[in-house]
Each structure stands twice: as structure tokens, then as C-alpha cells.
Structure 1
Amino acid sequence: MLLALTGSGAVAPAAMAGDAPEYGSITGQLSFTEEPIGSITGFVKGIGYLDESAGRVDYLYGEFDVVDGSFEFANVKPGSWEVRISATSDGVQWSPMYVAGVPLQSQAATITVRAGETSDVGTIALHRAPKVEGVISAPPGTPKVAVFYLQNGTTGEFEWFTNTVTDESGAFAEGLLVEGTYRIQMRSDPDLAPRWWPDGRTMADGQDVVLTEGQVLEFSGSLTRPRYPMTILPRIAGSDRFQTNVAVSRELFPPSTDPFEIPVAYVVSGEKFPDALVAGPAAHHEGGVVLLSRQGEIPASTWIELNRLRPKRIVVLGGDSSVSASVVARLGEIAPVERIAGANRYETSRLVAERVFACGASPCIERVFIATGRDYPDALSASAPAAKLGSPIILVDGKASALDAPSRELIYKLASQGVYIMGDSKSVSDGIEAGTLQLPDASTRIGGPNRFWTSLGAAQRFFPKADDVLLTTGLGFADALSGGPLAAAKGSPMVLTRPNCVSRGMAGLLQSLDVSRLRFLGDSNSVQDNVLDTICD
């Protein structure tokens, strides 16, 4: 909408001709707390709620010259208007005010405009505006924004007033302000939690910034180092993957003076991932533990842990290439051993799912998880959610154009509702997803642009409220393979990360959820002590 904006005879662009409705006008007077120097340019912004169409809005905007302080806005559509005026003179900014001299839209009086009539708003007093200028530091490449919330003098509540975007260096200058008390929020990347100056997580944690007429305030804030509210617990780690695995087992079954006799121990390869990926939910479902072995020998730490736990039975996953016959024979000295092995990793996963989770002719679980067996990250991200829900993980060839018949048959046998598909369509094809569409509920895909975002998506979906988070590397399988059952037992998500940095989404998750404790799984080569200090992807 174009409007004729006039002040002491100066005319701005006029309204467009045509079948426009009959207009009214708004007039008024500006006063200044000190004499302006030089010419004065006024600015108007308004929003109108129009009478002729319920719920319809229109906008008033433009600039006008001010000579004797009077102004007139012609060609205004009939309706109720909220109008804000500001001005500049010889480089000086004057505070923006709504009609009746109030700074906040919630305080603004409405102006009723009628066709063919003039609505006079009286005098609007403008003060010399304060200015805030400074720098917000944040990770390189991220936009920075300063958001100003002004305290309502009547209610005491802080309300949005304006925001400004910094330049590439983080520098900014905001001069369209009014006198008053502010809280200033610093924002960066959308997934990096904001801070309230100087270092608050919430508005209540921020400090007041009081601005007076004409004041110039130097500002400095930082989002460079993410700040997390939780306690960092001692990491779970050993000198190698096998001792780390035992450390996880001891978290699940802490040392006791009473002898153990746990229901089951799943023994899987700690050197090759394919057959081992589905062990976590199965072991959790049966009240057991996952322990790692070498192909040709049982590590000393694993052997000692097996003797401590004294499982009633042992289940070995995979064939001789994963866990040799000699290892199976030695395991038999502790408890009866059952080997579950298919012709390939996909069949092994199906055998485990049916052996552990089937309960007759009718489905007895709501959903199963599907993940590619070509790589390990997505299946590992499914481990804690699947264990929590009492669901199996079925591995498929994610590049296949369709769901294979044995997997389809098993899914329909086990799941009463649907499936969760881990990873995007590059990990598990759309054709495979289509093979699940006859289940009552549509399949739910949990994926992201990479393994870390997929892991984050699983954590957010299945653990929306968690006291603890387990953080482990996504660049190796062994530590995460051990951690799935532990995370599920504690009702916590296990999130994959790079060794030296966390994703922006992970930073936001840790700062936004009610997480009180964070624990690293694996040694410092897997997850560095300062991993939280650096944001990546």
C-alpha cells in the first residue's frame, strides 16, 4: 500500500489510483526534548486492523519531512491503527514512540480512521535515543543477533522491542532505542542456545541494562564457548575397547559382596561390527550384558568379567569369522553357549530378532527398528531407543531397491504397528520403506544429513526428558556397541559425536533439555575432554 505522507506541505509518494476504497487521514504534532539541529526527517510504521474484512491487516510505512513539527498521513484505509513515529536530525536519532508517547506496542493506543475523516493524535514527544554498540563473539561463520527486550513500566515484564544483526566480525550498533531497562539476548546459529547478557541461560538469569536519554553504551558479549548447565561425570573408559567394555559392564552390574548370576551374556566380536550391531537391545531385553571378544581369543579383562558375572547362559552372535570355535569352547567352561549365526549379517539380525522378541503367531511388540547393515552408526544410534522400547533391530541392505522377503515377513510377524527407519534414504532406500506400508501406522524415518544428526534425532525423539546423556564416538563402533544397553538401563540417550567437537544440534540439545549429568564413553582418543568447547557441522 502506498500512502501520501505530508508534513508542512512536503508530500511523499501518493496512493495508487484505481478502485481503492475511500480513505481517511491521521494528523498530529511532534515535540522534542531538546531543539533539533538541522532538518528533521520523520519515519512512520503502523499496522491497521481493517473494519471491512474481519482479521485483515494492512501496513503504513514511509518517511516525511518535519518543518514545524506537524505531520499528516493521508490515504489511510479505514480501520483501527497502531502507529509508531521516530525521527532523525543531522545524524541524531530520536526515540521511536507510539501514539500517546509509549514505547511498546502492547501499550499503544489505537487510532480509529474513518473514510473521509481526519483523526488527530495530538502531540507525540520524542527523546534523544540512546545507542548500544559493541561486539558479540561467536563461532566463525555464524550470524549474530542482539535482541532487545524492554521492561514494561506498568507490568514489570520484559517485552520484545527490536533486534539487530551484526556484521561478519560480530560488531553492531543499535540506535533505534528508548530510555528504559532492557534485557539483551545474544543469538547465533539457530541450533546454538542463546545467552542473556552477560552469561544467562534464561531471561531471568540476565542482568538489567539501563539506558538513559542520549546515552551511548559500549557492549561486549560472547557466544564463542558453549556453556552447559550439567555436571560432567567421570568418563567410562579402559586402556582399550575391551577394558572399556568391561567398565560399562561394571556400571550395569556394580561390584558387590554378593555373588552374581546374571541371566545371560551376549559375547560378540570387538573387531568386526556386522554381527554385533543387534546385540544391545537383545541383551537388555533379557536382563544381560554385551561383552566383546577377539576372534581367536578371549581378552583377559573379558574373561575375568565373565567369571565375576557368572551368567546362566552365553549367546555368541556370528559365525567362526566373528568368534571362533575355540573361543566358544572356552566360554563353555563358564556356562552353556548358544551360537546365533546366519549366512550373513542380515540373516543373523533376523535370527536374533525372532529368537528374542517373537512371542507366538501374533505380534507382541509395537514397532521394530530397521537400519542398514552396510555401516554401523545408524544401528548404534538405534540401540538405546530399541532397548528402551523392547524392540529389535533388523539389519537390511540399505542400498537395495526393495525390502527383502525374509525381512518383510519377520517385520509383519513381530510388529503390530509399524517401523522406525534409521537414517535418510541414502542409508535405507525409499523402496525398502515402501515395503512396510501395509502396517497400521506409517513408517517413521529418523535421519539427518550425517550420522551425528541421525543420532541426535533419535535422542530427541525417544528421550525428550533425560537427566543423563552418554556421549561417545561415532567414528568407531566398539564403545557405542557397549553403551547402548547402559544408556537404556539408565533411561538416557546415547549420542554419537566426533572426537574433538559436537554438532550445533548437540550443543542446543544439551543446553535446552533438563540434562543434569553428561558422561563420556571411551578414552580421550575417542572423545576429547574439551569436545564441548568446539562446534562443528
Structure 2
Amino acid sequence: MFKKGSMAVSTLVAAALFASSFATPAGAEDFGIKNSLFEKKKEQVLSVHQQLLEEGQIASAASSSVQATVAQSPTVTFTNEIDGYNYHEYLFDTKGGTFTVVPTHSALEEVDYFIYNVTTEEVFEPSEGEKYDLPAGTYYLTVLGYSEQPVNYQYQLSGPLTFIPDTDLPEINVTKPMQHDHRLPKGSSSKQLVEGTSDGLELFLQVNNKPDILPGGPFSKQVELHKGDNDLLFITENASSNKTWSFYNMTLPGTSRIGGKDRYEVSANVSKTLASYGYDSGTIFISRGDVFADALAGGPLASLETAPVMLTRTDSLTQEVKNQILAQHPYRAVILGGTGSVSTSVEAQLKQLGVRQIERIGGKDRYEVSAKIANELVPYTETDTAYIASGEVFADALSASSVAGIEGAPILLVRKDYVPDSVKTFIKNNPNIKNFVIVGGTATVTEKVSTQLKQLRSGATLDRLAGKDRYEVAVNVAKYGMDTLGMDLSTLVFARGDVFSDALSGSPLAADQWAPILLTRTDRVEDKVNTLLTEHHGETDHIFILGGTGSISTNTESQLSKHIQ
């Protein structure tokens, strides 16, 4: 049974609950994509299970399961129907031995399963075919769906069971919201009722990473939503500890301003916003706030680490950033830039705030820092692409930071007319980088750089995302992301285009939301941006605005809001 207030789902996984819980995206039938989705679903189950285990909420087999001792290896059949919005978990126990799992349903591509130990959370792989060598212990057979519509499944489990497991599942019937993906009308209240029934012992309800425990039976709970997507997770459990999970998303259309009195407070508030989405791995990135290069080059690595980027003065953290660090209590900080950018006194302040592990990615200049960040990134993402942007003007690197973060690709900074030696060395040492995307026109990165890149990597593909100005470049980067990465305009991040101060910490937010970063003037939306939004009118649900009204005015916010239907 669940204990009220005891369960806080792992924030690292909670941030991705809905990105990987639902059905396989259209056109994503590729085996690699499905395998990645399977791994993410598996991570979710284990993460939530770990929290239950730590709080003593996993009932023992002896006390919770159907007790019927067996003397041989019977075959038990688990059958039901499932879609991409649900998980099913069946508990069984053994004194050890070889088990066989045979799927006898036809929808083999739409359903999958895995087996893990309740106590250790070890996931067991088949030794051959569908045979599993399981030590003595209690296990879950967890069934995952991928399709939009329910499909039938049937798994036959054979092996030396301690007792006959229960094959029934508890049911959840959610009546509000009525659909798994539910978009509220624009202007709706942030307070919404969630209603339905469950026949489990209790119901675990999590809304935007905030858990609650409700009694079994009919339920009616008022929940607080934020603008944009809101993730709802329901889990119910029967007396045999079998579980049904069900995922819902409620979209509240509108704009969200992340402001502050200065760039440092804005970065703290971006971190706070990310944390509300469950985006917190225990790591933070720290970067100097009065120069742009290190923070923007570090955005993709921060996204990989599920870490926010917080800004600092060279010699001291501001009180607002300190307060957010105390609220978030990270164990690890990665400082971007050398001690000339972020001094050792900032390291000392971080330690005083309880940060136990401090790392630094430095270099003699911004170009070497970008190359060293890339060296940390590419071994994990195995990307074949690098984004190339000017190290002398911020706008193009900012526009690239969202797509680079989503793709797990580095942003390499270059001079206007040449590739710095440190960046050349990175490219030479990473032959897997075969595609270069230059962001910005020839006024910021000339064709001389293109020539050098081709010389550094024979046969490389080279693209340029340009425009008559930084606003059009950002639009073209967004279109590139839509064409190549499956991004859309459902969520957007807007930053002021003529100063970088508020935008530096926005890269992880944009990547987390799969949102393009678009640029605007303080007092009006640029024509090219308006044209893009008009062409896709009705597709946008949520717009983040980085900075206070001095950066992006209320009039500009009103113009943007009109593009939300």
C-alpha cells in the first residue's frame, strides 16, 4: 500500500514521463526508436518502484499475494489489453530456477515486457530465447504497450513458483479528463477537477511531480495546473500487489513569463521552473552571466545531464541563485569556464551551500572551452553532427542551443574567418563528426570557415542556416528542427534578440520542452516570426517568455498570445 506523502518520483525520470510513456510516435516504427522507448519506459517503472521500496511500500509476497503453494512448475497465463498510455505489473515469487515466458498474442510489435526483482530492482535478461534464470526472490512481470488503441496480449509464465500468482489487475477509470491527451480551452482556470474510480486498495496520483494518495473507490481531486503540458500519473494496486499504471496529459494554453530583476534571478527562476517539471538530476551548471559563450556552448551538455544553467558573477553568487541552490540541494556542480570567468571563491560558496562535488570545464578562451565541452558530450550521445556558431556574437549560438540540446550535438564556437586550433583538434580527434551545421550568415561566419571544415573532414556534409538578420536565422533554425528532429511549435521559448542576458539559461528549458528558441524585439514581434506563427496558427499551446517586461514588453506578450488558439 502507498503511504501519503512518502513517494516523490525520481525527478530525473519524472521529467520524461510523458515523453516516453505514450504510444510510439507516428513514423517511429524503426527498431532503434522503439528500443529506446522501451528502455525509457523501463527506467520509469524502476524509478517509481525504488521510491516505493525505500518507503517500505512494497508488500511482501507472503503477506500480499495469493497463497497456494505449488510442488511443480505450473504455467500461469496473464492476459489483458493494453495501449501506450498504460503499464501492467504482475507479481510472482520463486525459490529460484529457470522460467520461460511465451507471448501467445499476435500484436508482438505493440506490446513488450520485462522482469525485475522487487527488492534489488535488477532487470533480468533471457539466457536463451525467452528463458530466465532467476534467483530466489519476488519479481514483477511488467507489460508495456506502444499503440494508440488497446491491443490484446497474453503471456504464459512457466517455472518453479512459490505460489500461484494472481492474474487479475486493479482497474482505473478516469472520467475527468476524458481523454489521455486533453487540451483545455484557452482561458481555462488553472484549478481543475480530476475524477474517476479505482478498485485498488489505494490510488497514487501524481500531478507535475507532486504526489498524493487517495483511497480506493470513487475519487474527486482538485489539482493545480501550470500553463502548457501537465503530466498526470495514476497507479493503483490490488491486495496481491499487482499494479495498473495510467498516464494522462492536460494542456492549459497560455503564456508563462520567467522574469527577475536581473539575469541572475532569471536563471534561478528558470531552474525553479525546470524543477517543477521534475527536471533535477542533482547536478547544476554554473556559468558567468556577463559573457555569453560558455553558457551557450554548455547548454547541450547541461541538457544531457538534466541540469539547469545558473548564472554567477565572477567572484560571487547572487542571493537569488544561492536560494535556489539551497532549495534544489544539488550534490554536484559543473563550472563552465576558467577561474578568470568563475573564480575559486564561487567554488567555496558552492561548497558552503552543500554542493559536495565540483567540476570545472575550462580553457584558455571560449573556443577551447566549447571544444572541451564537446569532448564531454559526444562520447555519451555518439552524435555525428556539430553546430558551428560565431564566438563573437551570441544570437546564432542561442538559436542553435535548443536543437543542439535535443540532438545531443555540440556547439563549436569559431572566429568569423577561421576555425580556432582547439576546435580543429576536437574535429580531428572525433572522426564520427561528419555533419556540420553553420548557424548564421556569412557576415558572422564566412565561407573561409566552411572551406576549413571541409578540409578537416573530407566528405563531410555541410549545411548553413542563415537569414537576413538574427530573427530570421532563429526562424530557419526552428524550421530545421521541425524538418529533421520532429520538433513542432506546440511549445515555444522567446528571448530578446538584441541582448543575451535573460536567454543564457534558456537552453535546457527549450530542449526539455522540445521547443524552438525564437527571438523578438522588446516592443514588437518581428515580421518573419509573425509569418511563421501565422502559417502554423492554432498549433501553439504554450509560450515561455524569458525576462521581465523591460526585456519583452506586455504588448509583445499580447501579440504572441494571439497565436495561441
**TM-score range normalised by the length of the shorter chain:** 0.5 to 0.7
Q: How many Å apart are 1:303 and its aligned residue? A: 0.9
| Residue aligning to 2:468 | 449
Which residue, out of 448, 457, 462, partners 1:431? 448
Amino acid of the residue matched to residue 388 of structure 2?
A: I
340, 353, 356: which one pairs with 1:335?
A: 356
Is residue 272 of structure 2 the alignment partner of residue 254 of structure 1? no
Q: CA deviation at 1:335?
A: 2.3
1:370–1:395 Cα contact (<8 Å) kept:
yes
In 2, Cα distance between equivalents of 1:441 and 1:396? 18
Q: Match for 2:344 among 309, 320, 325? A: 325
Contact 1:275–1:322, Cα closer than 8 Å, also in 2: no
**Residue 263 to residue 521, structure 1, CA distance change in 2 (3 Å):** same
What amino acid maps onto 2:268 in structure 1? V
Query: Which blocks of at least 5 consecutive residues in structure 2 are unaligned?
Result: 1-251, 561-565
Structure 1: distance between partners of 2:546 and 2:509 = 11
Higher relative contact order (CA 8 A, sep 6+): 2
Alignment partner, residue 305 of structure 1: 324
Give yes or no for contact 1:471–1:496 (8 Å, CA) kept in 2: yes
Residue equivalent to 1:314? 333
> Aligned pair 1:354/2:370, yes or no?
no
The answer for the alignment partner of 2:420 in structure 1 is 404
Q: Which amino acid is 1:376 matched to?
A: F
Rounded to whole Å, the distance in 2 between the matches of 1:323 and 1:451 is 29
Mapped to 2, the partners of 1:512 and 1:412 lie a distance apart of 42
SS in 1 for 2:402: helix
Q: Give the ranges of 4+ consecutive aligned residues of structure 1 lying more than 6 Å apart after TM superposition.
A: 532-535
- Whether contact under 8 Å (1:291, 1:302) holds in the other structure is yes
User: Cα gap change, 1:242/1:495 in structure 2, threshold over 3 Å: closer, same or farther?
Assistant: same
User: Which secondary structure state, in structure 2, belongs to the residue aligned with residue 443 of structure 1?
Assistant: strand
- The structural deviation recorded for 1:429 is 1.4
| Corresponding position of 1:515 | 540
Q: 1:306: how far off?
A: 1.2
Match of residue 402 from structure 2: 384
5+ residue gaps, structure 1, are 1-229
CA contact (8 A) 1:500 1:534 kept: no
Q: Which residue of 2 aligns with 1:372?
A: 390
Aligned equivalents of 1:452, 1:261: Cα separation in 2? 31
- Matched AA of 1:519: F
Aligned to 1:97: none
**What are the Cα deviations for residues 270-310 of structure 1, in whole angstroms up to 9, with x where unaligned?**
12223322121110011111011111211111111112222
- Give SS of 2:360's match: strand
* Aligned-residue offset at 1:351: 1.0
Q: Which residue of 2 aligns with 1:345?
A: 366
Conservation of the 8 A alpha-carbon contact between 1:487 and 1:494: yes
Amino acid at match of 2:523: N
Residue pair 1:403, 1:433 contacting (<8 A) in 2 also: no
- What's 2:502 paired with? 479
Report the counterpart of residue 262 of structure 2 in structure 1: 240
CA distance in 1 between counterparts of 2:458 and 2:551 reads: 40
Separation in structure 2 between the aligned mates of residue 403 and residue 261 of structure 1, nearest angstrom: 35
Structure 1 contact 418–440 (Cα < 8 Å) conserved: no
Q: CA deviation at 1:484?
A: 1.2
1:369, 1:420 within 8 Å by CA — same for their partners in 2?
yes
Deviation of 1:412 after TM superposition, in Å, equals 4.5
Residue pair 2:377, 2:408 contacting (<8 A) in 1 also? no
SS of the equivalent of 2:258 reads: coil
Q: What is the percentage of aligned positions where both structures have the same residue?
A: 29
Equivalent of 1:421 in 404, 422, 438: 438
Counterpart of 1:356, as a letter, is: L
2:202 alignment counterpart: none
Give deviations 1:167-225, integer Å, cap 9, x for gaps: xxxxxxxxxxxxxxxxxxxxxxxxxxxxxxxxxxxxxxxxxxxxxxxxxxxxxxxxxxx
Which amino acid in 1 is paired with 2:413?
L
Post-superposition Cα deviations, 1:24-54, rounded to whole Å, max 9, x if no partner, equal: xxxxxxxxxxxxxxxxxxxxxxxxxxxxxxx
User: Which secondary structure does the structure 2 equivalent of 1:244 belong to?
Assistant: helix
Name the aligned partner's letter for residue 273 of structure 1: F
Q: 1:274 to 1:255 in 2, by over 3 A?
A: closer
* 1:408 aligned partner, one-letter code: K
- Looking at structure 1, the residues matched to 266 and 356 of structure 2 have their Cα atoms a distance apart, in angstroms, of 23
Residues 298 and 404 from structure 1, CA distance in 2 versus in 1: closer, same or farther, beyond 3 angstroms?
closer
Task: Find the aligned partners of 2:342 and 2:425 in 1 and give their Cα distance.
Answer: 29
C-alpha distance 356-442 of structure 1, shift in aligned 2 (>3 A): closer
Distance 1:487 1:240 in 2: 20
* Count of aligned residue pairs for this structure pair: 298
Higher deviation after alignment, 384-393 or 433-442: 433-442
Match of 1:495 in 2: 518
What letter is aligned with 1:289?
P
Aligned partners of 1:486 and 1:532: how far apart in 2? Answer: 19
More off after superposition, 264-273 vs 526-535: 526-535
- The reply on whether 1:528 has 2:545 as its aligned counterpart is no
- Aligned residue runs from structure 1 range 225-304, under 5 A: 231-254=253-276, 262-304=281-323
Number of the residue aligned with 2:480? 461
| Alpha-carbon displacement from aligned partner over 1:224-252 (angstroms, at most 9, x marks no partner) | xxxxxx95413111222212111111121
Instruction: Give the Cα–Cα distance (whole angstroms) in 1 for the partners of residues 413 and 404 of structure 2.
Output: 13
Please say which of residues 384-393 and 273-282 is displaced more in the overlay.
273-282
Per the normalisation by structure 2, the TM-score is: 0.50
- Higher relative helix content: 2
The 3 A distance-change label for structure 1 pair 304 and 501 is: same
SS at match of 2:338: coil
2:385 aligned counterpart, secondary structure: strand
Alpha-carbon distance, 1:525 to partner: 0.9
Which position in structure 2 is the counterpart of 1:71?
none
Instruction: Say whether the 8 Å CA contact 1:501–1:533 is kept in structure 2.
Output: no
Q: Normalising to structure 1: TM-score of the pair?
A: 0.52
Determine the structure 2 residue equivalent to 1:195. Answer: none
Contact map agreement 2:281 2:305 (CA 8 A) in 1: no
**How far apart are 1:450 and its partner, in Å?**
1.3
> 1:447 and 1:261 mapped to 2: Cα distance?
34
Deviations 1:404-437 (A, max 9, x none): 3432331244444311111011111111111222
2:64 corresponding residue in structure 1: none
SS at match of 1:479: coil
> Within 2, Cα distance between the matches of 1:532 and 1:244?
17
- Please say which of residues 368-377 and 404-413 is displaced more in the overlay: 404-413
Supply the AA of the counterpart residue of 2:305: E
Distance in 2 of aligned mates of 1:533 and 1:491:
23
How many angstroms apart in 1 are the aligned matches of 2:364 and 2:531?
43
In structure 1, what is the Cα distance between the partners aligned to 2:442 and 2:411? 18
Q: Matches of 1:325 and 1:501 in 2, distance apart?
A: 41
Report the Cα distance in structure 2 between the residues aligned to 1:440 and 1:407, rounded to whole angstroms: 18
Larger Rg: 1
Question: CA separation in 2, counterparts of 1:388 and 1:261?
Answer: 17
| CA deviation profile, 1:103-149 (whole Å, cap 9, x unmatched) | xxxxxxxxxxxxxxxxxxxxxxxxxxxxxxxxxxxxxxxxxxxxxxx
Cα deviation for residue 531 of structure 1 reads 1.7
- Counterparts of 1:386 and 1:439 in 2: how far apart (Å)? 23
Assess, with a 3 A threshold, how the Cα gap between structure 1 residues 335 and 474 changes in structure 2: closer, same or farther: farther
